Amino acid sequence: MLETSKIDSFFDGEVQLKQSSKDTPKVSKWSRFVKLGFPCIAAALLGVMVVIPNIKKSVDLQDNITMPRKNELEKLHIEETVFSAVDDKNRVNVVVADSVDEVEPGSQKVKFQNPKGTIPTDEGKINISSDIGYFTQQENILELETNVKAVIHEKTTVDTEHAVYDFNNETGYGKKTIKAVGDWGTLNAPEFLYDKKNGILTLVGKNEIISPKGILTADKETKVFQKENKTESLQNATLKQNDNTVRADKVIAFFTDTAHKELKRVEAYGNVVITTPAEKASGDEGYFDPQTGKLELFGKKKSVSIVRENNTLTAAHIIAYFTKGKKQELIKAEALRNVVVTTPKGSARGDRGEYNPQTKMVELFGNVRIEQDGNFIDGEHAETDLTTSVSRIKGGEKTGGRIKGIFFNRRKNKNGSDSKK
């Protein structure tokens, strides 16, 4: 049986482990837990921080471990250690370890063999384990190695091989692959960083978050802003939902603060490409609202475009509307400013345009011009059938419904080239 009075005396620097003293002050179970159980509980908290950022610490651990001075005593060694403590809500926290060893005499660093912890929370309980754990008092740093695992409320499991947490700066990191699996989906990344003060978890390197709501990937990093309920992905960032895909240099996704984390808004910046089963749209900036099915694309450096087979619709600004639900099919698109429709047979331009994917028709309004083989017709309203590439044009009220144009006759010269007359 572990004699707790000796442990207390050892940490208070009063006697050696082999000695006893009647004057040894009595220390509560809570104090022993804080001194020896601190690293294990911290490990559990780190697992919580990675996956369920909104959970608060179950135990307020403000104390630290006090080690003997160098060469003052031999290294501490305790086997089959069990610690328990009650938090401010009268919930019992339990930490066990096969052994606890001081790394070097006076080093202020202890090693835990097979640490395991169980921490109750408002939502359930958290189980944390690893093969090896280290805690350095001077730097106040916890390091877990080999088979690091956290099970959150029996719903989410986090696995990695390396995790470090700095309690002074409230930051953590892991240099080995991290994987999380739960009823919400899966998460994979080569490394991670964690900033507790600002509530930011960063997945470093090519990362992937898969859920029933969609798939989010990025080549450089994805930052999870826990307080703002949003993610920010950089470099070839891709958000895929069903058969629709948004890809850009940067993709920002906003979520509701409900437990299901419904997608609320998507922002895309730089080389934006949106792909549906039938169309492909591109621009410099894009904004999508899943609640209304409204997508806006803006052209900053170049025009926005929608491509369907061999037909292209370009403009400075395009607003597209999608159906709600799983399929999210394109209903219609509105094109504003400098609108141009290009087909294999020619082109048409106007101030404003509307595209109907069901009928495959594009309508143009205001200062419309249709061009084909150098010929052009001007009017106020035009319709282009993207299936047949046939266009029709009408005049407006200002011209009494009339249209005007210029046509060229083509005939072959003796050298075989065309000439216009």
pLDDT, residue 77, reads 62
Separation CA 326–CA 404 (nearest Å)? 47
Angle, CA 100 vertex, CA 99 and CA 103 arms, to 5°? 125
pLDDT, residue 25, reads 35
Question: Does the structure show a pLDDT above 60 at 202?
Answer: yes
Angle, CA 191 vertex, CA 188 and CA 196 arms, to 5°? 100
> Cα dist. 256→112, 143, 146, 237, 309 in Å?
40, 34, 35, 21, 37
pLDDT, greater one: 302 or 260: 302
Close Cβ partners of 292 (under 8 Å, ≥ 6 residues apart)? none
What number is the average pLDDT over the span 358-379?
91
pLDDT tens, residue by residue, 302-317: 899 999 888 999 999 9
Q: Rounded to an integer, what is the distance from CA 142 to the centroid of its chain? A: 26
pLDDT, residue 266, reads 92
Contact predicate 220/239, CB 8 Å: no
Confidence band for 299, pLDDT divided at 50, 70 and 90:
very high
pLDDT tens, residue by residue, 3-13: 434 334 433 44
Please choose, from the candidates 384, 362, 374, the residue with its C-alpha nearest in 3D space to the C-alpha of residue 407: 374
Question: Does the structure show a pLDDT above 80 at 249?
Answer: yes
pLDDT, residue 101, reads 86
Of 117-126, 255-264, 404-413, the poorest mean pLDDT is in: 404-413
Question: Does the structure show a pLDDT above 50 at 74?
Answer: yes
pLDDT, residue 85, reads 63
> Cα dist. 114→20, 35, 269, 354, 395 in Å?
29, 18, 46, 65, 83
Question: Does the structure show a pLDDT above 80 at 191?
Answer: yes
Q: DSSP E strands: which ranges in 357-396?
A: 361-372, 375-385, 390-394
User: Which long-range CB contacts under 8 A does 318-323 form with residues at least 24 apart?
Assistant: 318/281, 318/283, 319/294, 319/295, 320/281, 320/294, 320/295, 320/296, 321/293, 321/294, 321/295, 322/244, 322/293, 322/294, 322/295, 323/293
Question: Does the structure show a pLDDT above 80 at 61?
Answer: no
DSSP state of 190: S
Contact predicate 145/113, CB 8 Å: no
What does pLDDT average to over the chain? 77
Close Cβ partners of 269 (under 8 Å, ≥ 6 residues apart)? 248, 249, 250, 251, 252, 284, 285
Confidence band for 367, pLDDT divided at 50, 70 and 90:
very high
> Cα dist. 320→240, 255, 294 in Å?
17, 21, 6
pLDDT tens, residue by residue, 95-154: 788 988 888 877 788 888 998 888 787 778 878 899 998 888 788 888 889 999 988 778
What number is the average pLDDT over the span 53-62?
33
> Cα dist. 27→36, 42, 273 in Å?
13, 22, 64
pLDDT, greater one: 399 or 286: 286
